[in-house]
């Protein structure tokens, strides 16, 4: 099993060719033209996103957090904009049995001070019952507010795994944007940095140079065992959980029941 240790290796395959600095600089500048075009297209998409229509919601619907039931409007914390991450939940699962992808996303946005400075609030929503969610949040050490939206319909509740944006106009609340799948990746700065490295994410779906050996399927390094070996088997848990207090090997490692 491939390890997540990241230990140095002398037998890496498919290494980049070795050239002088001038040759490297020329190749770098050639790629920069494409990168700038990609950035400008991203700017254009963001401009179109800002022009999407919006849907009014009931801001008085109640969600449950650390202080008990509160109206959804309270999640704005007096600000005009709100971004939420909708964290999937497996009922009855041990902490280490919760979703790897959602754990990864939530882990990368534990401090929203820069969003707050821009007038945007942030919260995590999940369909899990609060009595299960609360100890999980404490175990993981998350600092941003979490709320249970159990029993509520989309877009506040319903299917999870989305990043959703809302706008407040007085006491009125509007849905403005939502994304899922790889659209959630901008939150995960680790993926962006990996994409800048010569070996990328080391996932099979990527376009790799000829002769390069890759580690495995998408997200192969998101779960590991007690020895930090990457594994999606019954001894694995989301990688950040090994750094949590009390995160020692236990008999209930792995997913709960038939959840995937």
The answer to whether 126 touches 146, Cβ cutoff 8 Å, is: yes
pTM: 0.88
**Burial of 223 (C-beta count, 10 Å sphere; 0-12/13-18/19+):** buried
Domains with residue ranges and CATH for the chain = 55-185 (3.40.30.10)
Q: What is the pLDDT of residues 25-69, one digit of tens each?
A: 999 999 999 999 999 999 999 999 999 999 999 999 999 999 999
Q: What is the pLDDT of residues 142-160, one digit of tens each?
A: 999 999 999 999 999 999 9
With cut-offs at 50, 70 and 90, classify the pLDDT of residue 180.
confident
DSSP label at residue 179: E
Query: Omega before 259 cis (within 30°)?
Result: no
How many helices (H) and strands (E) would you count in the chain?
5, 10
Q: What is the pLDDT of residues 1-37, one digit of tens each?
A: 455 555 656 677 888 999 999 999 999 999 999 999 9
pLDDT at 245: 66
The answer to whether 249 touches 226, Cβ cutoff 8 Å, is: yes
């Amino acid at each position: 099993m491939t390890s997540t240790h990241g230990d140095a290796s002398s037998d890496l395959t498919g290494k980049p060719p070795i050239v002088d600095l001038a040759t490297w600089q020329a190749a770098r500048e050639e790629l920069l033209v494409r990168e700038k075009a990609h950035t400008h297209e991203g700017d254009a998409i963001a401009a179109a996103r800002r022009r999407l229509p919006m849907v009014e919601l009931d801001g008085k619907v109640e969600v449950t957090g650390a202080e008990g039931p509160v109206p959804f409007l309270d999640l704005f914390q007096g600000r005009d904009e709100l971004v939420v991450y909708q964290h999937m939940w497996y009922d009855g699962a041990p902490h280490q049995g919760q979703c790897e992808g959602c754990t990864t996303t939530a882990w990368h946005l534990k401090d929203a001070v820069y969003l707050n400075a821009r007038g945007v609030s942030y919260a995590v929503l999940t369909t899990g019952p609060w009595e299960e969610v609360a100890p999980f949040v404490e175990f993981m050490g998350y600092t941003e507010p979490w709320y249970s939206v159990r029993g509520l319909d989309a877009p506040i509740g319903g299917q999870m795994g989305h990043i959703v944006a809302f706008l407040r106009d007085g006491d009125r609340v509007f849905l403005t944007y939502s994304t899922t799948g790889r659209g959630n990746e901008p939150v995960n700065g680790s993926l962006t940095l990996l994409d800048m490295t010569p070996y990328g994410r080391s996932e099979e779906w990527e376009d790799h140079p000829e002769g390069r050996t890759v580690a495995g399927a998408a997200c192969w390094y998101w779960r590991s065992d007690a020895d930090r070996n990457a594994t999606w088997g019954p001894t694995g848990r989301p990688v950040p959980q090994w750094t949590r207090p009390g995160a020692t090997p236990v008999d209930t490692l792995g997913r709960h029941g038939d959840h995937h």
